Amino acid sequence: MERWDGRVALVTGASVGIGAAVARALVQKGMKVVGCARSVDKVEKLAAECQSAGYRGTLFPYKCDLSNEEEILSMFSAIRILHTGVDVCINNAGLAHCEPLLCGRTDAWRNMIDVNVLALSICTREAFKSMQERHIDDGHIININSMGGHRMFPSADEHFYCATKYAVTALTEGLRQELQEAKTHIRATCISPGIVETEFAFRHHNTDPERAAAAYESIKCLKAKDIASTVMYVLSAPPHVQIGDIQMWPLEQVL
């Protein structure tokens, strides 16, 4: 990780869960991390914790609604002005709504597409532009996907969500192909976890907290820090090594 010391990483959805764990780990390794979220107060609290702990890097909180392209573009403009640009982009933000294919609400489907697919694609495009402008040839784009991007969960509540994650799988492979065609050494990686014990289930099943809790009580789940460790592994690989896809899940999870 030494070559990333002092360089700039963007982590989306950095307020809680996987995003917060990844942001903390990158700051520990000496990176300048822009952590964006709608709940920027939580990122500010995390930034203060990192400073108090004496970590070598710095966390810069940024308020951004990723369903709004103008806010994303404004964020990249601010990063350019304040930090010159992005060297590492961690597309972590994602959400799910319990909206089946046969009776789901269109606005909820659209929200999943806006955040899980379009925001990821916009951030990727803008991060690549930032790298190109500064002749950065060793940057890295990491998409935090899901095992739901590789197999359909047997629950109607998850089907549209899984479709957005299948899109992330396809987008990451397409990105790798385009980066090669562009004759660049910028790398692209997809990390797909199974069940991770975070706030995700409680947001997903926000009207049924018992169901959300049950999702984490039946087995020993992955922890957010497990995904953060995987991000560190990917970033610390030698520059000539392309780690394309990592699928990981709790040992006890039945897929």
Dihedral sign (CA 173, 118, 74, 191): negative
- DSSP result, 24-42: HHHHHTT-EEEEEES-HHH
* DSSP 8-state code for residue 157: G
Continuous segment of H or E residues that includes residue 88:
strand 88-91
- 166 assigned to active site: no
Query: If we measure between CA atoms, which residue out of 14, 28, 33, 9 comes closest to residue 87?
Result: 9
Looking up tokens 């903390």 gives: 24
53/50 Cα distance (integer angstroms): 5
- How far does CA 90 lie from the centroid of its chain? 5
Q: Are 206 and 237 in contact, with CB atoms under 8 Å apart? A: no
**Among 55, 62, 161, 166, the one annotated catalytic:** 161
65/80 Cα distance (integer angstroms): 18
Structure token digits, residue 227: 């995904």
- DSSP result, 43-72: HHHHHHHHHHTT-SSEEEEEE--TT-HHHH
Strand stretches in 42-172, DSSP E = 58-63, 88-91, 140-144
Structure token digits, residue 111: 């929200």
Residues involved in catalysis: 161
